[in-house]
Amino acid sequence: MVARTGPSRSFLSRLGTSHWVSPLALLALWELASRSGLIPARTLAAPSTVAGTLFAMIVSGELPSNLLVSFQRVLLGLSIGISVGVVLALVAGLSRRGEAAVDPVMQIKRTIPTLALTPLFIVWFGIGELPKVALIAFASTFPVYLNLYSGIRSVDPRLIEGARSFGLTQAQLIWHVILPGAMPSLLVGLRYSLSIAILVLVVAEQINASAGLGYLINNARDFLRTDIIVVCLMVYAMLGLGADWLVRWIERRALVWRPSMVDA
Amino acid sequence: MDARLNFLDQTLPPAVAEAPPPVVRLRGFVRSFGETTVLHGLDLDIQPGEFVALLGRSGSGKTTLLRTLAGLDVAHGQDVRVPNSRAVVFQDARLLPWKKVWRNVSLGLNGADIRDRAQAALREVGLGHRLDAWPLTLSGGEAQRVALARALVREPRLLLLDEPFAALDALTRLRMHDLVLDLWRAHKPAVLMVTHDVDEAIALADRVLVLDAGRIAAQERIAIARGERGDLTQPLRHKLLDILGGSPASSGVIPFPQGAHA
C-alpha cells in the first residue's frame, strides 16, 4: 500500500484516494450525456443548466422566498413535535403512573405510519398550513419521545444510588443525574426527528401548496422543468445536511464531557 | 494542605475510658429479600473514630449491611441507629461523568464557598490540580481519590467504604491504603470498610469482623500499631482465612499464599 504521507506522494496517487473523484466523474459523465443528446432535457436537465437555474432562482428571489416558507413549516412543526415528545418522555420516564398512562398510547401511535394520516389531516385541518405543520409535528414527536424515555430509564442505577447516598432530593436527582444522563439519548432522538421532519415536509408540501419548495416542484413538474426539480432536490439535501450539522453542533456543546470530545 | 502533615502533631486519643455512645448501633437486625434472609439478627456497634473492617465472601451479606448503614436500603421498624452525617465510597467511583471533578465533590452541597471546600478536599487527596477535569479523563486511582474527597468534604461521622480498592492495581492500592489512613487520622470519622481482602483488613482496621451467611462469625481487635503489623499478624491472618472457609492456598482471596515460600 502507498504511504499516506510523505513528500514523495504523487498527485495521481492522491487523486486516486480522494473522495471527490467519483462524484465529479459522474457529474462530468452526466454533463457529457446531456450535451450529446443522450439524456434529453425533459428527462433530466444538464448539470450546467441546473447550476444556471439555481443562480437565476436565487437572484430573482424565487428560491429564497419559497425556501423560507418551507423552513418555517419545518421549524414550527419540529418545535411542537419536539416539545410534546420531551414532555411526554419526562412524564413517562420519571413516574410509573405516567408510564402507564403515556407509553401504551405512544406505542399505538408508533404503529401508524404518519404519512398515512395525510388524508385524515386534510379532512380535519383543510389544505392550508395547518395540516403540513401538524404532520411534521406528529411525525417528529415519536423519535424524541422514544429515545429520551429509554434514555431516562437506562441511566446507570449505580450513579443514581451513589448520588442518593449523598442526600440529594428527588428534584436534585432528576436535575443533576437523570436528565444529564439521558442527554445523549435525547440528541439521538433529535437527529432522527430532524430527518423525519424533512421527509414529511417533502410529502406534506405536495398538498395543494401555494408556496414552498413543494410548490416549486409541483409547478416545475407541470412545465416539465427538470432543472427546477433538481434544484429543489439539492435544496432538500442541503436542509438535511444542515439539520445534521445542527445536531452535531449541539452535541459538541452538550456532551463536552464525553471521552471522544474530551480527547479531541 | 496535605493530610499527612496534619496528623503528625495530633495526639492519639486515649483508649476508651468510659464508652461514648456508639456512632452505629444495630440490634437484632434482620434483612430478607423474599424468601432469602440475608442478615440474621445482627448486633453491631461502631465507636466514634473506630476503623472497622468487614470481611466476608460474596453473598455473605456484607454489601447489604453497608447499604443499610448508607441509608440506601431502608430498614423499617428495626433497631438501627446511624448518624445522618455519613458518606459512601463505592468500588466504582461513581462520579457523574457530565460534571467536572469539583462539581462531583460538591454534589448536593449548598453555599457560596462550595468550590473552595471542594478544592480543599481535593488537595487533601493530592488532586488539587484536577479541579476542572472531566471524570472520564481520570485514572482509576484518581477517580477513587476524587470519590474519597467527595466523601470527606461532608465531614462525615461515619465513612462507609465498599471495597474501595478492589479495582485498583497492587501499587495504587497500597498508596490508597496510606491515603485512607492519613485521612482517617486527620478527620477521625468512624469507618466501616467492606472488603474481601484479609491483608487489607489487617493492615487498616482497629477491628475486623467476619460476616458469614448473614451472621458475624468472628470478631478480632488488633492492638498492634499499624506500621508494625507485618509478621505479628500472621496467626490472625490464618485464623481469619480459616473462618472465611478456605485454607490460604485455596481461598482465592490472597494471590500469593505465604505458606508456599515461608
Cα–Cα distance for residue pair B17/B9, rounded to 1 Å: 22
B45 DSSP β-pair partners: B25
**Structure-block grid coordinates of residue A168:** 440529594
CB contact (8 A) between residue B98 and residue A181: yes
The predicted model gives A118-136 an average pLDDT of 90
The model's pTM is 0.77
Boundaries of domain holding B175: 3-9+19-260
Cβ–Cβ contact A177 with B under 8 A: yes
CB contact (8 A) between residue B108 and residue A161: no
Number of structural domains chain A divides into: 1
Nearest residue on chain B to A162, alpha-carbon basis: B94
CB contact (8 A) between residue A161 and residue B94: yes
CB contact (8 A) between residue B136 and residue A259: yes
B86 DSSP β-pair partners: B158
Cβ–Cβ contact A223 with B under 8 A: no
CB nearest to A162's CB, from B90, B98, B136: B90
Number of structural domains chain B divides into: 1
**Structure-block grid coordinates of residue B244:** 472465611
Domain assignment of residue B80, yes or no:
yes
Domain assignment of residue B45, yes or no:
yes
Domain assignment of residue A30, yes or no:
no
pLDDT value for B248? 44
Cβ–Cβ contact A172 with B under 8 A: yes
Domain assignment of residue B136, yes or no:
yes
The predicted model gives A170-188 an average pLDDT of 91
pLDDT value for B167? 81
User: What's the CATH code of the domain at B42?
Assistant: 3.40.50.300
Boundaries of domain holding A183: 49-254
Domain assignment of residue A263, yes or no:
no
Q: Which parts of B188-230 fold into alpha helices (H)?
A: 198-204
Residues of B in contact with A257 (CB under 8 A): 97-99, 134-136
pLDDT value for A17? 76
Q: Mean pLDDT, consecutive 10-residue segments, chain B of 262 residues?
A: 44 56 83 81 86 85 86 80 87 90 89 89 89 89 90 90 86 88 90 88 87 81 75 75 61 44 39
pLDDT value for B17? 55
CB nearest to A180's CB, from B92, B98, B108: B98
* Per-chain mean pLDDT for chain A: 88
H/E segment holding residue A68: helix A62-94
Q: Which residue has the cell 476542572?
A: B132
Domain assignment of residue A39, yes or no:
no
pLDDT value for A32? 93
Q: Which amino acid is at B46?
A: I
- Identify the three-state secondary structure at position A38: coil
Residue B222: Cβ within 10 Å count: 20
Count how many Cα atoms sit within 13 Å of the Cα of residue B14 in the half-sphere of its side chain: 3
Q: What are phi and psi of B153, to 5 degrees?
A: -65, -20
pLDDT value for A41? 84
The predicted model gives A231-252 an average pLDDT of 90
pLDDT value for B13? 52
CB contact (8 A) between residue B87 and residue A159: no
Domain assignment of residue A131, yes or no:
yes
pLDDT tens track for A60-83: 999 999 999 999 999 999 999 999
pLDDT value for A190? 93
Q: Which of B96, B99, B106 to mutate to test the interface with A (most CBs of A within 10 A)?
A: B96
pLDDT value for A206? 82
Min Cα separation B168/chain A (Å): 19
The predicted model gives A152-171 an average pLDDT of 89
CB contact (8 A) between residue A158 and residue B107: no
Query: How much is the ipTM here?
Result: 0.76
Q: Helices (H) and strands (E) in chain B — how many of each?
A: 8, 9
Domain assignment of residue A168, yes or no:
yes
Residues of A in contact with B90 (CB under 8 A): 158, 162
Domain assignment of residue B223, yes or no:
yes
Min Cα separation B137/chain A (Å): 7
Q: What percent of chain A has pLDDT over 70?
A: 95
Domain assignment of residue A37, yes or no:
no
Q: Which of A170, A257, A258 to mutate to test the interface with B (most CBs of B within 10 A)?
A: A257
Domain assignment of residue A71, yes or no:
yes
Min Cα separation A161/chain B (Å): 7
Cβ–Cβ contact A162 with B under 8 A: yes
pLDDT value for B8? 41
Domain assignment of residue A109, yes or no:
yes
In terms of pLDDT, which residue wins out, B69 or A84?
A84
pLDDT value for A257? 86
Q: Which of A166, A169, A185, A260 to mutate to test the interface with B (most CBs of B within 10 A)?
A: A166
CB nearest to B108's CB, from A159, A168, A258: A168
In terms of pLDDT, which residue wins out, B244 or A57?
A57
- pLDDT of residue A145 exceeding 90: yes
What separation, in Å, do the N-terminal and C-terminal C-alpha atoms of chain A show? 28
In terms of pLDDT, which residue wins out, B111 or A4?
B111
- Identify the three-state secondary structure at position B56: strand
User: What's the CATH code of the domain at A180?
Assistant: 1.10.3720.10
Report yes or no: B201 and B208 within 8 Å, Cβ to Cβ. yes
pLDDT value for A86? 94
Residues of A in contact with B153 (CB under 8 A): none
CB contact (8 A) between residue B154 and residue A166: yes
Nearest residue on chain A to B160, alpha-carbon basis: A165
pLDDT value for B254? 45
pLDDT value for B141? 86
Q: Which amino acid is at B12?
A: L
